[in-house]
Structure 1
């Protein structure tokens, strides 16, 4: 990406990865998986979006294979959940912490995915798809592994829709309004964060298209 591109600060990247790994490990713990299952779910939750984005769509080496920090971070989250399993299994504070970091990390990684797709010369609909997968792919893989319908496919609080709108907002700011990627990226993150916090505060939800009989 060019020097003017939006880039995630490295320490926030690691913090978001650790938080998502922790959330995946807690899900595995609640599903009564063993330590290997906890690690696998932590890995897929934290890195699944980038693995799908890079390995499947962009034909790049995923960062989990090139940066030596990611796997130790994920392993640390796994071990912490294993050691303190009885203390954190049902603590709402863990969910709130991960949710707050997620509200910043989701649009940030979506923006990075959008830029990579644009640089690869993918048409705009494909760019939006890559950005959305970068944002929510890990959660989809997590839910599939534990044999649940992915949360983004079910009625519930706005999340996937907000991620899609964040992708469109960034592309509008950069391509239509000609705003530089760096300020456009931060504006997109701020917009998503505010919308997500309002969603949590007022419990805004989607509804099924067909009501039950």
Structure 2
């Protein structure tokens, strides 16, 4: 058990999770690009931006060296591999499956593993719990937000869709809480399980935060009444 809790192992697991998020989000970007009928270059661009965007934003804000996506060739390779699904989508038209179980599971996994990885990387450079939650969330939703803007879609983090950024905040909080109690490995596992479960439940039953259109002012009361 002690081996699993060693800093070296936690760092390696975090890297694997980070790369998993790169691949998953690159794939998601390709599928959504197909729905917008982009050309081949558009598929590749959206896939790479979706896969690397969140991590680059995180590493830039951490100011702890050059973003890892630009120094570790594995990130570019995995992002390119993720775009292979985009190429499949280009030929096979996978856009009709973007609301199916496979797409939802991929989305939930990508959101959860990146929130965990972002929070853990922030803690690893010595920052506190609040920056870890914030950067875990940014890691999880940043690439998707950029992707949505490029596709002229309202980013999911701004509402109108089942719980998205809220799930990333919760997963980051789970990771931070477990780490503070000396159990980062438990935080990784618990964060992913909680995030995937909550995201899939939100997608299945349409859970979302109330929007401004759902708010109605109550009747004004006279002073003294």
* Contact residue 29 and residue 50 of structure 2 kept, 8 A: yes
What TM-score do the two structures reach when normalised by structure 2?
0.79
Hey, what's the Cα distance between the residues in 2 that align with 1:79 and 1:110?
A: 24
- Report the TM-score when normalising by structure 1: 0.82
Match of 1:90, SS state, is helix
Partners of 1:174 and 1:184 within 8 A in 2: yes
Whether 1:100 aligns to 2:120 is no
Q: Which has the larger radius of gyration?
A: 2
Contact 2:157-2:164 within 8 A present in 1 as well: yes
RMSD: 2.8
Q: Does 1:54 find its partner at 2:59? A: yes
Report the equivalent of 1:85: 90
Q: Which runs of 5+ in 1 are unaligned?
A: none
Q: Which runs of 5+ in 2 are unaligned?
A: 1-5, 217-225
Deviations 1:117-171 (A, max 9, x none): 2233334322211111111111011012222221110222112111111112222
Tell me the residue number matched to 2:25: 20
1:21-80: CA deviations, max 9, x gaps? 121122223223222222111011111111100123333333322333333443344355
Q: 1:134 to 1:13 in 2, by over 3 A?
A: closer
Match of 2:147 among 142, 158, 176: 142
Q: Does the 8 Å CA contact 2:40/2:90 hold for their aligned counterparts?
A: no
Deviations 1:159-186 (A, max 9, x none): 21111111122222222xx141011211
Match of 1:187 in 2: 190
Aligned length: 210
Q: CA distance change for structure 1 residues 188 and 82 in 2, over 3 Å: closer, same or farther?
A: closer
**Distance (Å, rounded) in 2 between the aligned partners of 1:84 and 1:112:** 28
For 1:17 and 1:113, locate their aligned partners in 2 and report how far apart those are by CA, in whole Å: 12
In the other structure, the counterpart of 1:127 is 132
Distance of 1:117 and 1:9 partners within structure 2: 13
| CA distance in 2: counterparts of 1:182 and 1:76, whole angstroms | 27
- The one of the two structures with greater contact order (alpha-carbon pairs below 8 A, sep at least 6) is 1
